Amino acid sequence: MKQRILVLTLALAVLSITGMAQRPQGAGERPQWNAEQRAEQMAKDLELTKEQQTQVKELFEKQQAEMAEIRKQPRNEGTDRRAQFSELRKKWDTELEKIIGSEKLAKHKELQAQRMNNRRNRQQ
């Protein structure tokens, strides 16, 4: 009786391990784009010049560094990360507007909203 329980337990363990091993890597996760990929996509979407694309790439690199700094902070220090991220986004939008102009920034925001809607619709 004890041997059967042991054998069944081992069989279940083996089956669960093989089931996890067959799951695709990063299932359910969306790929993270680096600063260069984001700048290239924005250049295509908004028809940016090479100079603007370079400036946007530098801004995105700066964004990634600032976000990493906030993420490194311990969560229980009483800091409101959401507020920090919100303030950073406002600052980045101002900097981005200086680089690409208000018309292209509005188009960029519109494209972001469309992509967000598409992602939400696919998840449902």
Q: How far apart are CA 98 and CA 83, in angstroms?
A: 23
- If one counts the domains in the chain, the total is 1
Q: Is residue 14 part of a domain?
A: no
Q: Is residue 43 part of a domain?
A: yes
Domain-located, residue 2 = no
1 domain-assigned: no
Residue 73 lies in a domain: yes
> 54-83 pLDDT, tens per residue?
999 999 999 999 988 888 887 776 667 888
For residue 52, which of 104, 111, 116, 113 has the smallest C-alpha distance?
104
Determine if residue 95 is left, alpha or beta; phi over 0 gives left, psi from -120 to 50 gives alpha, anything else beta: alpha
* Domain range enclosing 41: 34-123
Q: What is the pTM for the complete model shown? A: 0.65
Q: Is residue 86 part of a domain?
A: yes
- Whether residue 17 is contained in a domain is answered as no
Establish if 47 belongs to a structural domain: yes
What's the pLDDT tens digit per position in 20-67?
Answer: 555 555 555 556 788 889 899 999 999 999 999 999 999 999 999 998
